[in-house]
Amino acid sequence: MRLAAEVTTLVPECSPEVRAYDLEIFKKSKEYEIQKKANFPKLRFDTRYNLYGSDPSNLLNGIGDISQRSYSIRLSTSFVLFDGLKNINTIAKSKMEVEKLKIEKEKQIAELKKKYAQIQLDSKNALVQSENNSKTLALVDKNLGMLERLNTNGIVDKSNCIKKQLDLLDKKLNLEENQIKIFTAHYKLQVLKQEEVQL
């Protein structure tokens, strides 16, 4: 796999985690606004128009009596004089919840910025390390082949050859593990880019 040199700008504010905080803050803010309005006086307005009179004993007499037509308007207001400071405490609690969510969101953004910066750095280093690792792996493979030929031709003794082969195989293992870390860093960057594109 060949790693491509890319400069990607990752915006923590567009991440799913931060968007979840935004939705929660919006929800709590609306709850706070509703609770603030609970202390406002409530006005009630209604009207009533009676076209016919009423006769409890005979319905037809009530319908026929048009002289008892009436029209009424009612306006009333109500408000809580004292509720034991319940509404004030509820409003204060809601406001604190909104502030707490804003602080948590800022912490999340700071963590994401740190994480994104590390992933960007790892991805940039991956290009240089990948090329160096490929060259070093080729040299290790070449040295292993030479040791086998020297051992086959009897130029190097068997124990010395085995020790050198073990050293070279350890080096090869470390290089391949490093290569895996490089590809992992590049993969993380690709996943983050895809998340931002989908949002």
Q: What is the pLDDT of residues 142-170, one digit of tens each?
A: 877 777 777 777 776 777 777 777 787 88
What's the mean pLDDT in 44-57?
69
For the chain, where are the E strands, in sequence order?
Answer: 42-50, 70-78
pLDDT value for 30: 92
Rounded distance, CA 11 to CA 109, Å? Answer: 9
Rounded distance, CA 126 to CA 175, Å? Answer: 13
What's the mean pLDDT in 179-186?
76
pLDDT(107) > 90:
yes
pLDDT(40) > 90:
no
For tokens 């085995």, the residue is: 162
Q: What letter does residue 13 receive in the DSSP assignment?
A: G
Domain ranges of the chain: 12-40+79-198, 42-78
Winning range, highest mean pLDDT, from 58-62, 93-97, 148-152: 93-97
Rounded distance, CA 88 to CA 99, Å? Answer: 17
